[in-house]
A and B are shown apart, each in its own frame.
Chain A
Amino acid sequence: MGFIQINELHKTYWLGESQVHALRGVSLAVNEGERLFLGGPSGSGKSTLLHIIGCLDRFDQGRIVVAGRDVASADDRALADFRARYIGFVFQNFNLLPVLTVFENVEYPLLLNGEKSAKKRRSRVEGMLEAVGLLGHAKHYPNELSGGQRQRVAIARALVHHPRLLIADEPTANLDSTTGEAIIQLMLDLSREQGSTVIICTHNRELLENAERCILLRDGKIENDATAGTQGRTAACF
């Protein structure tokens, strides 16, 4: 069984008065330490799948096991604890907490995980900020940073507690291509050092083309699941 095991996942939701069948029997296995890129046109269900894997959303039918845990049976509180401990998130809009400094933003997941020693927290946070090249900005507030810097803070925040799974939802959508590439590379490098599994949802064709593994979703189904070296992978993805 993979680190993430998904079987026949279905998810519908209501958009106004119309019902949207976002996932139609998705099955998927992701191994620990794997880097997976999710692609597909808008409305293909990739964000829904990402949210369910990240334990942010529930599903209607099927089964999903993340890090050995059947998340369908967990209540809201248990899922929150699970996310705090095992998952790191990077969002399209950075989603830093505006009233916290860079240091405090990165420190927050450690507080959530009950790390009581201020010394240990400081050491971990400074280590992460150094890794993303922002140690000198520790006392700055998010609105004092550029988009790329904010996303680097978000990466530091997502990885500071050494999560087993890093989920990134369109992390480069609000960045220029050069900064975006650097951000993806930083994310991949840092998560490799920690041995984290990475799932990145993106529209970026170039990222998908160069991915170790890419999955293309269309109309709530997996249209293509290709790994590096697979013949015609890029063509299949697009």
Chain B
Amino acid sequence: MFLIKVAWRNILRHKRRSLFALLTILSGVTGIILFGGFVEANYIGLRESVIRSQYGHLQIHRAGYEANHRQDPDRYRMPLEQAERVKALLESNPHVQMTSRRLEFTALLGNEKNSQAAIVRGVDPETETLINSALTIIDGTDLDEEEPEGVLLGEGLAQALNVKVGDQLSLLASTVNGVMNAVDVTVQGIFQSFAKEYDDAAMMMTLPHAQQLLNTQSVDTVVALLDETMALDAVVADVADRSRAQDLGIEWIEWHKLATFYQKVVDLYDGFFLFINLVIYVVVVFGVANTMIVTVMERTAEIGTLRAMGTHRGGIVRQFLTEGLMLAVFGAVLGVLAGIALTYSLNALEIMMPPPPGSSKGYPLRIAYVPWIWAGSVGAVALIALFATLVPAMQAARKSIVDALRYV
């Protein structure tokens, strides 16, 4: 207690110097919190966009699908009865909000003037609309079971074909029997997802229409959307247990194993975040060390007095470490408070950011409130301050008592 009291008074004794050190620490921590919150918000935003426009949280396939479906797609598709059992299994888990069946294939889409290869997805319109909530219909309307011939085109695909809502197109694909088949479709809507690459080739249609084109009753995938992404591991464990018990003959893949783009973005931003953290922490080291070196120099005679009276060297080291630590923790806590206040203010300003690489949409600036970054930055700054203070503190303790007493 005595140590803390003396440390606190010494911090207040040199207000300007302490203020400078506090501002250095405060700005550093605020910067870490803002950038960390920005990165985290991007992760969350991108993650949910990926999940809610393409992959869902969990995709269930027939066993062996992932390894073999490219060579023999129909053999590894799920028959109708199996898909229904999978849906029932998934929907009995309280974290599963909804499920949807998908049939995916490539086809040639075109009219008399133009044609393009398209990645086609046949879906249950009602549930897929909800699963794909991050998909924006920029023209027309969403898929509707009442309009089985209606299709949604990605923005880039629609542009490549030079078509608009209401235009008629033909969709040509190979049936499961290896015969070419074609159906007529009508452009019902044009969509935009987070990924321009996807929008340049993607098309969606109702599942029955897609099954009719391929001449099959099977589906490739049953997709599950959960109430929260964090529940994924628990749901996977449950699916693993119960599917084994029911001998369902399925395999599954989580969204993050499919979303390679998301993982690359996370790796890139993690690198930025680490680099910025390092730069800030180096500045904090110099800020604290500079303050403590000057403090030790100025208090040389005081150190001599304390030592003369019988204070151990360790006592001197502890005194300066306490001061450095208190300065750092106080500055870091103020930095956290400033970071939270700025996060709130910047979020309220609704600043629009340009589209990220590979994306076709801009997005509003969002900074997440990330308590582990707050706690981590306080902890890191405290450790750094201890490190930065240790050298001057040990120098102080090693001073000759007689020389220290003579210091003016």
What is the interface of chain A, defined by CB distance below 8 A to chain B?
Answer: 51, 54, 56-57, 76-77, 80-85, 89, 91, 93, 95, 97-100, 108-109, 111-113, 157
- Find A56's partner among B6, B311, B402 (CB 8 Å cutoff): B402
Residues of A near B301 (CB, < 8 A) are: 93, 95
A108–B309 CB distance below 8 A:
yes
Instruction: Point out the residues of chain A lying under 8 angstroms from B372, CB to CB.
Output: none
Contact of A77 among B2, B306, B309, B312 (CB under 8 A): B312
**Are the C-beta atoms of A98 and B13 separated by less than 8 Å?**
yes
Distance (whole angstroms) from the CB of A38 to the closest CB of chain B: 16
Question: Contact: A97 with B306, CB < 8 Å?
Answer: yes
By Cβ-Cβ distance, the 4 closest A-B pairs, closest first, are A84-B310, A99-B9, A95-B305, A83-B310
| A84-B310, A112-B310 known; A91+B402 contact, CB < 8 A | no
Cβ of A56 and Cβ of B405 under 8 Å apart? Answer: yes
Given contacts A95-B301, A97-B302, A98-B302, contact A85 B402 (CB under 8 A): no
Contact A83 B305, beta carbon cutoff 8 Å: no
Selected A-B contacts with CB under 8 Å, 27 pairs = A51-B401, A51-B402, A54-B308, A56-B308, A56-B405, A57-B400, A57-B401, A57-B402, A77-B312, A80-B310, A80-B311, A80-B312, A82-B310, A83-B309, A83-B310, A84-B310, A91-B405, A93-B301, A95-B305, A97-B302, A99-B10, A99-B13, A100-B6, A108-B309, A109-B310, A112-B309, A157-B309
Instruction: Evaluate whether A80 and B9 lie within 8 angstroms (CB atoms) in the complex, with A56-B401, A57-B402 already known.
Output: no
Centre residue among B304, B309, B311 by max chain A CB count within 10 A: B309
Let me know if B256 is at the binding interface, CB within 8 A: no
Which of B2, B6, B309, B311 touches A89 (beta carbons < 8 Å)? B309
What is the bound-complex CA distance between A113 and B311, given in angstroms? 10
Whether B310 pairs with A81 at a CB distance below 8 angstroms is yes
Contacts of B2 in A (CB 8 A): 111
> What separation, in Å, do the CA atoms of A91 and B400 have in the docked complex?
16
A84 touches B6 (CB 8 A): no
Cα–Cα distance between A113 and B305 once the two chains are bound (Å): 16
CA distance A97 to B306 in the complex (A): 8
Residues of B within 8 A of A56 (CB): 308, 401-402, 405
Beta-carbon contact of A84 and B309 below 8 Å: yes
CB neighbours (8 Å) of A57 from chain B are 400-402
- Residues of chain B within 8 A (CB-CB) of A112 are 309-311
Q: How far is the CA of A56 from the CA of B10 in the complex (A)?
A: 25
Question: How long is the Cα–Cα vector from A89 to B405 in the complex, in angstroms?
Answer: 12
The verdict on B95 contacting chain A, using a C-beta distance below 8 Å, is no
New A-B contacts (10) at CB < 8 Å, excluding given A85-B310, A99-B9, A109-B310: A51-B402, A77-B313, A80-B312, A84-B309, A95-B302, A95-B305, A95-B308, A97-B306, A99-B6, A111-B2
